[in-house]
Structure 1
Amino acid sequence: MPTTRYKALLVDDEAGASQRLALLLSEHQIITVAGSVRSVGEARSFLEVQQPDLIFLDMEMPSQLGMELLPDLPEKTQVVFVTAYAEYAVQAFEAGALDYLVKPVDPERLERTLERFLARRVGRKRSSQPENEEEVLLHSYPENQESQIIRLKSVHWIEGMQNYTRAKVKGQETMVIFRRRLADWEALLSDESFHRIGRSHIINLSTLRRTKWISRDVSELFFEGIKEPLVVGRSASTQLKALLQNG
């Protein structure tokens, strides 16, 4: 199935900032930079011809504030404010922005913004097509400049590895590495199927098929379609037993 590509418009009076952002976005197959303009007026002219899915909008430009463009945006278009000042964050969210990014844009922070965009975009589709869509997340492969859309419900478990995590995903032979901590996953995962057990794991109870209690200190967890079990220690086993008993 071909990857859905969403159109983005960059609005920034600093050409260098737009060029850098366009370069970062080129690493994500789901995004096509449809245009780059340097003022609110030019953005309005662009919107008369095209309707982008996503706009990266500079908060402050010499002639006008980026927020002055908001009344002219199509309903489906989502806005990410780009600013040199972190204190604008509250103002951005009060204006209904999807997210805000501080210059110079960090690649990992941009990746999370795109995850949020996808989740909200799919959520809108789900309201009219509830059987066909579900929450998604974005995983990037910097070495070959590709991105992969992963369905949250296809994640069996997530294991914390200091400043990064790895996940066992349905259909993937090897573990998928993510540049985020386990605590970041907890904030992202609102689905009641996901639970943290012990210090190092989050598991998807909806795909857990069997549990083997080896001893008081060790348990083996078997997930749908996975031959090799996830082995966890005493703390995780105790918390899992409590979850299963209360469930």
Structure 2
Amino acid sequence: MNRKPAPTAVIADDERLMREQIVARLKEAWPELVIAGEATNGREAVAMVRTQQPDIAFLDIRMPEMTGVEAARAISDLCHVVFVTAYDQYAIEAFQQGAVDYLLKPADPERLKLTVERLKSRLDKKPEGMDALLDQLAQRLGGAAAAVVENKPKEYLRWIQVSVGNAIRMIPTEDILFFRAEDKYTRVQTTNFEGLIRKPIKELVDEIDPDEFWQIHRAILVKVDAIDQVTRDIRGQQIVQMRGSNEKLEVSRSFNHLFKHM
């Protein structure tokens, strides 16, 4: 008796941490599923689907090169599509009217279980066309999801995957007080706990919204609206105090201009 081949999937998201989180969640919810590849933009996703011929494609809606909506138009007859999105109800209403499922970022384990069950029931069926749904989705998103990358503002990290003891946690950037480089790791500090990531500060600077976080030292990024006060020590050095933390963060001289009115 021939065994049925394991189902396969492609994951497409320009945020590496989000791809890793989706892969980890899928391994928990659907151990038999084989991840055939990971793409960083819509164009890569289309090429990967055409070469790997997976059963399913998980597509972030907003990606460079080609958006998830544009990619879905190109591959909807080749595999089943699941949109991964940060958009809320106004977009979800569009998904619920078609044969396309969705996941909200970050992927909730219980919601993913439901998606997995739906996908399992569809695997033996031919993927359905969804041009009308994609037109509706693009319209509901006000054109943002269908815009090419050159016309979109740069997107920054909204979630950080950190190690907290033996666990991995997804932390929204809005909950983070500061990042501080320590040895081979970068410490991620919130009001309630701290975690570690391997990404260095010099990379985070390019991936974190500069209106949300300021670099005050080559080893420190602080959340602007969490700054409680800035004082000077006996050396005249500027010291930042964050709300929710007793730690004193030193401002290096090359960043003194951030607090020039002091």
TM-score range, shorter chain: 0.3 to 0.5
TM-score (norm 1): 0.45
